[in-house]
Amino acid sequence: MQWELMEVTNLVTICSLRNVAVKNSNGILGKRINMEIHNGDIIGLISENAAADRIMQAICGFYKPRAGRIWYSHSLRHGKGKPSKIQYVPDDIICYRDLTVEEFLVAASITAGEAAAKEQTRLCSQFGINIKKKLLEISYEQNRLVAYILAMSLQPDILLINRPTSLLSNNAFLMVCKELVELHNKGTAIIMAESSFENLKFPCGNYHFIASDEIRSYTRKSLPKPGKVVSLVGGTIHPEDMERCRILYGSRRLTKFVCHEQDRNNLIVMIYRTGCRDFSVENLTMKEEIYQDYSRWIG
């Protein structure tokens, strides 16, 4: 689906992470993390461990980084410097047993004013949520949508979303995406955390891949296109032909060749002409492409 994302002009830095390190009980999750957040940014944080989750919690003020600091613009600071216009959508359900949807939204946005209340009513109607039902009487999907409704109705400067598609059907997520596009076009910075690039269904302007000791950053245009692995499953191939394939396309083992789309057919033709018919073609994931990780094929 094509999203009508407006290009935000007059970009202003509203939050900055400087040499931030995050950890949990299992140890360091990420370190030397530097990131600028501007109004209207759409950022994808990708990490297989919980680093992206921790970074979001640090931006919200729920977690103190192990090292480094987080800077907020004047518009985000309130009182003693706590961020006041940042909203967080967790990847779990809301567990207030005795509250109805309506009671929860009113209590959670009591200082937000009439505009937020009207927006909540509109979104609940649009998403088909009965506001008179208790939070634990509605489905998990609707419960998660309530968290989205609360965060989006408050018109935050920064919206943090952990596992955007968690508990949501494709149709429900598409409805959320339409609202996210509207928020983006009004200048809200949207940050999404996922465990893999392939699960990040919303197009981001910037992607940050976080490993334990580094962060690799790409814009949408500079993001590499994942290659393919052509594997010789069996059969025979002449050593000279094998060496020619190896020189042209590289190989960590004699029967595994990494190539990109434009070379895939040439490589297959070369293999086919040698008489070998038993081969397979598999796609690299974005993580495997970026980190040149071929461990799935190399014992």
- pLDDT of 142 > 90? The answer is yes
Quick one: pLDDT at residue 81? 45
Q: What does the pLDDT look like over 247-285, one tens digit per residue?
A: 666 655 545 666 676 677 777 777 766 666 667 777 888
Quick one: pLDDT at residue 74? 77
Average pLDDT of the chain is 83
Q: What does the pLDDT look like over 5-22, one tens digit per residue?
A: 666 667 788 999 999 988
Q: Which residue has the higher pLDDT, 213 or 214?
A: 214
Q: What does the pLDDT look like over 29-86, one tens digit per residue?
A: 888 889 999 999 999 999 988 889 999 999 988 888 889 999 988 777 654 444 458 9
User: Per-residue pLDDT averaged across 149-163, rounded?
Assistant: 94
Residue 281 to residue 136: CA distance in whole angstroms: 46
Quick one: pLDDT at residue 133? 96
Quick one: pLDDT at residue 82? 44
Q: Which residue has the higher pLDDT, 28 or 42?
A: 42
Confidence of residue 163 (pLDDT cuts 50, 70, 90): very high
Q: Return the amino acid letter for 204.
A: C
Q: Which residue has the higher pLDDT, 106 or 256?
A: 106
Q: Which residue has the higher pLDDT, 2 or 115?
A: 115
User: Per-residue pLDDT averaged across 183-201, rounded?
Assistant: 91
Q: Given 3.40.50.300, 2.60.40.1930, 1.10.10.10, 3.30.1180.20, which CATH number is that of 13-219? A: 3.40.50.300
Domain positions in the chain are 13-219, 228-291
Confidence of residue 295 (pLDDT cuts 50, 70, 90): confident
Quick one: pLDDT at residue 84? 52
- pLDDT of 238 > 70? The answer is no
Quick one: pLDDT at residue 298? 62
User: Per-residue pLDDT averaged across 210-223, rounded?
Assistant: 85
Quick one: pLDDT at residue 77? 64
Confidence of residue 178 (pLDDT cuts 50, 70, 90): very high
- pLDDT of 245 > 80? The answer is no
Quick one: pLDDT at residue 83? 46
Indicate the range of 75-89, 93-107, 113-127, 209-223 predicted with least confidence. Answer: 75-89
pTM recorded for the entire structure? 0.84
Quick one: pLDDT at residue 79? 43
